[in-house]
Amino acid sequence: MNQNNHNTESQTTKTMYACPMHPEVIKNAPGKCPGCGMDLIPTKADSHVGHDMQKMFARQSHADHEAAMTNPSIAKKMEVDMRRRFLISLLLSIPIFLYSPVGVNFLKLNLPTPIPINWLLLILTTPIVFWTGSIFITGTYYSLKAKKLNMAVLIATGVLASYLFSVLLTFIKPESETFYEAAALLVTFVLFGHWMEMKSRRGTSDALRALFALVPPKANVIRGGKEISIPSSEIVHDDIVVLRPGDKVPVDGEIVEGESSIDESLVTGESIPVTKTISAKVVGGSVNLTGTFKFKAKQVGSETVLAQIIKMVETAQNSKAPGQRIADKAAGWLVIVAIGSGLAAFFGWYIIAGAGFLTALTFAVSTVVIACPDALGLATPTVVAVGTGIGAKHNILIKDAATLENTSRLTAIVLDKTGTLTEGKPKVTDVLGWNGFSSDQVLMLQAAIGSASNHPISKAIVDEAKNRKLNIEKVSNFESISGYGLKGTINGKQVFSGKEKLLTDNDINTGSQRDQIDALATQGKTLNVMAVDGKIVGVTGVADTIKPSSKKTITALKALGLEVVMITGDHTKVAEAVGKELGIDRFFAEVLPQDKEQYVKKLQDEGKFVAMVGDGINDAPALARADIGIAIGAGTDVAIETGNIVLMKSDPYDIVAAIRLSKATVTKMKQNLFWAAIYNLLAIPVAAGVFYTSFGLSLRPEISALLMSASSIIVATNAVLLKRVEPKLKV
């Protein structure tokens, strides 16, 4: 794509508008959220980096617009808006409270009254109800329009009932006791609860802000034969980007000239710099350390690994956990219960008990106010936001809230051996030759046929042959037999190289060398057996080093109560040796890549809730089959697509950290749901005056508002306390 095309593209980019309370709501033009009625906020970030990222996303399809939303910016705007509303409400509520019946009758205050008290309270309360508290009124309008009952409906009901009845009394009976303070304090306390929620949500976006900051604002590209500097957001496919030492990689691409050492730690979590040469891939957000090189842009905008990571974290924080769906239904019913209880309280006191109208209304308003399920609505979203933020901070990317919650339910976990428990970088340890073939001849032929393969074992054999400076012949009639090995013709001779089963399936006898083959297999080595013209001639032993943290991981997983199963395509004796070293009792060996899925299903058929851990490429079907798919160590497109959880580092102990985080998150969810539910169940009868005649217990509407808001603050604070689990994730 040329520069002109790009300019046209940029000119057509539109600013998107999102709801601060419901970030999933995105519109092309300003307006109000259909869910809550709040003004939609432009999604452009406060910094040039976030702006560039948004522009990059906006160039993509409509399906990618959710990814264009810059949550860090919106989180900040949410907090600022709620803080402003709360402070204005608080400033006006203080004199309202002091002039209210509570201030006059209980605090015995005798403040000057330039105008009648009720008229003064009316003047002070009106901007609170219709200005700072307008989000609840407009939210109620849009909710009822959509035929939904939510917290805004209940809050607005309590506020308007208190306010409108007070206005009525002010006009018809100016000296009557009113409820202005209830309306004002209800708005103020709810706004304070929302402000605390915004603060907790914004605190979870630190990891996202760090990711946005990885994108450099400018990049040097070759256009028209000249090197020019352009915004990173304007890089298009096939642009040649020039990077010098210290520069950040702006997009994903492939090196076409030069070489360098690149620090990918901020993206992948791997601390050791990686040497990159021609044809090597570079990942946006990594840092060039040493040399100068040029690379061709392959993935831009929302296609980059970094953009997908950001999208994944944002999606997770905005998704709903299964527990939240239950809470949402409960909140809807609680609205009905609250309004019904309020009406029952009013008629019970006014008609049955014969109390005065004002007394009955006081109990009714108190009941409606305290029954507001605000805390119930906050119970799980705040925990999810904090939990996913903690995960992202520790290079654990969780796709959605359901995954975060369901990971705690795991009863069995299947671990791929190569690349997960082992380094995935095998090295040749033994080469044996038979039937007139020397070890060098065996290695030379295996390297020749292996040079046409990308398999790690073939690469290890080729590397060893190069180290020994052996001549690698050309191969013809090459054929890769999936899961078994390679076949080809070298110097007119038919060569088979791979698993022993490859030879036996082609009627080649391997029994004559049984003892030596078994001896190598018993040592835990992967074997590559070779035959020439129908006769077995040698074997190469390859060892893949076990990762330092693998044994610790297995021990910790067992301590968490999980059944640990290893799966591998290697020989049974190899799997047995590795399993014995790591303490894994159950394993599936000699499994073809396409068959791994069936073994996961086998465990599921046994009634287990199963996680599959793999590299995200060969293990993709098994990852998809599992109840929870965990892609480890890659940060690749395939890993991101197939795994419910992506562990950006290659450390298997991050599996333990992910499970511990899930269990801690679910514990907080349960605590919050219990607190919110029990609070409402206990508070409603007290507010309704059920215990007033017997024990003298009652709550004025303003006190109900305070207690209702207090429950929301406790729930939000408890969610933030989830951060205390961080030191325990890697213990």
Q: What is the DSSP string of 58-84?
A: HTS-GGGHHHH--HHHHHHHHHHHHHH
CA distance 443 to 462: 8
Encoding tokens for residue 104?
């006059």
The SS3 of residue 360 is helix
Structural Rg of the chain based on CA atoms: 33
Residue 410 burial by CB count (10 A; 0-12/13-18/19+): exposed, middle or buried? buried
CA angle in degrees (0–180, nearest 5) for 492-495-498: 165
Give SS3 for 455.
Answer: coil
Provide DSSP, 278-334: TT-EE-TT-EE-S--EEEEEEE-GGGSHHHHHHHHHHHHHHS--HHHHHHHHHHHHH
Active-site hit among 81, 252, 400, 416: 416
Unique residue bearing structure tokens 């352009």: 230
C-alpha of 409 from chain center: 18
Q: Is 212 exposed, middle or buried (0-12, 13-18, 19+ CB in 10 A)?
A: buried
Dig out the tokens for 309 from the structure: 């990571």
* Of 271, 165, 185, nearest in space to 648 by CA: 271
Instruction: Please answer whether residues 329 and 351 qualify as being in contact, where contact means their C-beta atoms are separated by less than 8 angstroms.
Output: no
**Per-residue tokens: 107:** 């605090």
CA pair distance 396, 661, nearest whole angstrom:
10
CA angle 330–331–334, rounded 5-degree value: 85
Torsion of CA 623, 624, 627, 633, to 10 degrees: 30
Please tell me whether residue 218 adopts helix, strand or coil conformation: strand
**Would you call 416 a catalytic residue per the annotation?**
yes
- Listed in sequence order, the residues at least 6 apart from 420 whose beta carbon sits closer than 8 Å to its beta carbon are 613, 614, 615, 632, 633, 652
Cβ atoms 537, 434 nearer than 8 A:
yes
Measured distance CA(652)–CA(414) in Å, rounded: 12
Closest CA to 73 of 40, 44, 30, 39: 44
Q: From the centroid of its chain, how far is CA 27? A: 23
Residues belonging to the active site? 416
